Amino acid sequence: MRHLLSTTELSREAAIELLDISEDMAAVADRENKKLPALRGKTVVNLFFEDSTRTRISFEAAAKRLSADVINFSAKGSSVSKGESLKDTAQTLSAMGADAVVIRHGASGAPAVLAASGWIDAGIINAGDGTHEHPTQALLDAFTMRRRIHGAGSRGKGLDGVSVTIVGDIVHSRVARSNVWLLKTLGAHVRLVAPATLLPVAVDSWPVTIDYDLDHALAESTPDVIMMLRIQQERMNDAFFPNPREYANVWGLSTARWAKLPATSLVMHPGPMNRGLEISSAAADSPQSTVLEQVANGVSVRMATLYTVLTSTREVSA
């Protein structure tokens, strides 16, 4: 795996192998000495054009546990923010000898442009690009589901037959996109629930079931996993929904809706949460909630990703 740009690129075998390596990485986290020497001498650059402290420190912890050197490059707010600057920045990082670039960018496709550009010969890891994808988030979500469902026997398994309901702002969500493709690859059944304004117009071409009504969706089938997406309050200014109260009433995982779920249904959220809007505190803090596990698992999955990208054989250029 030369780069990780999108979960559409992952075959079932590759995805399961990444999750299995993540299991090994997770085992290291339980040791007294949490560090592995695998990436000693490698330089990982966290290139963040958008603020995301959570994702950045997760990648930073992952790289450091593998003994890589980490350079954090926050491009936001500096003179470089768009246009030619991506090229200039990439060439600068290349000159500094970056072996992998973890990129977070507001523009969809920026990591793909970087990977195809020839400006830099580093492995590119997409840490969230615009409204496109966030592959490591989907991997950590799948990892979390697999661990909860299969426990110690997770290795080698997919998520066959697992029903996952994703609720919220699908159209703007890179987390939703990466999850839809990866969960499909791993054999899960995905249901998307949102008002039509927050679904892509061509969503009927996706390998998912669609529902506009959360109560209807939950009545029709009990999900093994319900994943609530963060709702951006500014969306209501663009008429995606009338106001937060109506959104919470119709599409939020309220305490009442949560209480009707069986104790085996997992409650997931990629964070940061708007408590009381898309998810109630009772649901977020319940034993079914995996919110904190997701954070811990994020480090393991990102270790596996960095390890896999940085130890892949480089294609010899002709």
Partner 1 sequence: MSTSSYLIRGATIGAGATTDILTHGNVITAMGSGLDAAGAVVIDAQGLVALPGLVDLHTHLREPGYEQSETVLTGTQAAAIGGFTAVFAMANTNPVADTAGVVEQVLALGEAAGYATVRPIGAVTQGLDGQRLAELGAMATSRAQVRVFSDDGKCVSDPLLMRRALEYVKSFDGVIAQHAQEPRLTENAQMNEGEVSARLGLTGWPAVAEESIIARDVLLAEHVKSRLHICHLSTAGSVEVIRWAKARGINVTAEVTPHHLLLDEERAETYDSRFKVNPPLRRREDVLALREALADGTIDIVATDHAPHPSESKECEWGAAAFGMVGLESALSVVQETMVETGLLNWDDVARVLSITPARIGSLSTHGQPLTVGAPAHITLVDPNTRQTFSRQRLAGRSLNSPFLGLELPGRVMATLHQGYATVLDGILIESDIVAAHAEAVRRG
Partner 2 sequence: MTARVIMQTPDIHRVLTRIAHEILESNRGPDNLVLLGIPTRGVTLAHRLSSILETIVPGAVIPVGALDVTMYRDDLWKNPTRMSSPTEVPVSIDAATVILVDDVLYSGRTVRAALDAMADLGRPQIVRLAVLVDRGHRELPIRADFVGKNLPSAHDERINVRLTELDGEDVVTIDQAVSS
Instruction: State which of residues 201, 263, 316, 318 lies at the interface with partner 1 (CB under 8 A).
Output: 201
Give which of 78, 81, 178 is closest to 128, Cα–Cα. 178
Residues that bind partner 2 (CB under 8 A): 17, 20-21, 23-24, 27, 31, 33, 35-38, 66, 155, 307-308, 311-313
Measured CA to CA, the distance from residue 309 to residue 314 in angstroms comes to: 10
Cβ closest to partner 1, residue 112 vs residue 282: 112
Token output for 44: 């990982």
- Run of H or E residues at 69: strand 69-74
Residue type, 209: T
Helix H or strand E segment including 149: helix 135-150
Single residue of 50, 60, 99, 129 touching partner 1 by CB under 8 A: 129
Note whether 77 binds partner 1 by CB under 8 A.
no
Query: The tokens 């997931």 sit on which residue?
Result: 268
Question: From residue 17 to residue 56, what is the string marking binding to partner 1 with x (rule CB under 8 A)?
Answer: ----------------------------------------
C-beta of 298: minimal distance to partner 2 in Å? Answer: 19
Whole-angstrom distance, CA of residue 76 vs CA of residue 148: 37
Which of partner 1, partner 2, none sits in contact with 307, Cβ below 5 to 8 A by type?
partner 2
Which of partner 2, partner 1, none does residue 230 bind to, with CB < 5 to 8 Å depending on kind? Answer: none
Residues 83-122 that bind partner 1 (CB under 8 A): 83-87, 105-110, 112-113, 116-117
Q: What does 87 bind: partner 1, partner 2, none (CB cut-off 5 to 8 Å by kind)? A: partner 1
Residue whose structure tokens are 């690009």: 129
Q: Using CB atoms within 10 A of its CB, is residue 39 exposed (0-12), middle (13-18) or buried (19+)?
A: buried
**Complex with partner 2: residue 65 or 177, whichever CB lies closer:** 65
Helix (H) or strand (E) holding 117: helix 110-117
